[in-house]
Structure 1
Amino acid sequence: MKPTDIDKVIATPAAVVLIERLRERHGALLFHQSGGCCDGSSPMCYPTNDFIVGDRDVLLGTIAGASFYMSPSQYEYWKHTQLIIDVVEGRGGMFSLENGEGLRFLTRSRLFTDEEVGALMATGQF
């Protein structure tokens, strides 16, 4: 297994559809998950130019062409998991672009296998 075969973040088909719809309406997008209270604990979707990524924020990868970042403190908690960005019915975060769509992004996760962790560690990605 090559570390390049391991995605730290992926999106479900439903999430991809919503991301593409939002991109058509708003242009290039990015995600950020900070782990703060309230809306900050959900993945937030922004137009690329409307959010300043912090110097220490961790780029986990891209989903449907949108970069996905996480605050360093949250990454320490989640680094042993693959994040799976999904969509469920409900109101989106107050500042997230899906607000008003009747849908919201939701982070699910699964633990990396020992083999995946070893591969990520071998290249300093863990």
Structure 2
Amino acid sequence: MDDSPRRAGAEPVQRVALTESAAALLRELTAEHGPLMFHQSGGCCDGSSPMCYPVGEFRTGGSDVRLGDLDAGLPDPVPVWMSRSQFELWRHTHLTIDVVPGRGSGFSVEAPTGHRFLVRSRLMTDEEAERAE
């Protein structure tokens, strides 16, 4: 996460959000696969799409940054990770995970559903970036 100083008393800003459509699909997928997580790598082969995996099936490490957790109305939050190198380029970007009709990557759990997750992004304001978790 960002190690920049925060103003005293300022609420942290979330770097990630979720549309209700994506939350609904996550609830369905969690019922089938158990707890899930996202990884946004920025690489080739659907690298611009967030990849959804059962927790434990994608290993994160020192080369990854946890952007935050999504509340999809599940018992456990859904963590969102990004490669550190991609984070350096996107550190001032807010990401919203959405879902659209189409075929996702064969590695992402939504692939057989006829839908795919995608990221909608916007630049954060300077104040938001300063307060981001």
- Please, what TM-score do these two structures have when normalized by structure 1? 0.89
> Hey, what does 1:60 align to over in structure 2?
67
| 1:10 paired residue among 17, 23, 35 | 17
Identity of aligned residues (%): 52
| 2:43 paired residue among 31, 36, 45 | 36
SS of aligned partner of 1:38: coil
1:116 aligns with 2:116: no
- Please, what TM-score do these two structures have when normalized by structure 2? 0.84
The correspondence of residues 96-111 of structure 1 with structure 2, limited to 5 A, is 96-111=108-123
Count of aligned pairs = 120
Structure 2 segments unaligned to the other structure (5+ residues): 1-8
How far off its partner does 1:54 sit?
2.2
How far off its partner does 1:3 sit?
4.1
Measure, in 2, the Cα distance between the counterparts of 1:119 and 1:39: 30
Farther-moved stretch of structure 1 (59-68 vs 95-104): 59-68
How far off its partner does 1:76 sit?
1.1
> Hey, what does 1:77 align to over in structure 2?
89
SS of aligned partner of 2:131: helix
Structure 1 or 2: more helix by fraction: 1
Report if aligned partners of 1:85, 1:108 keep a CA contact under 8 Å in 2.
Answer: yes
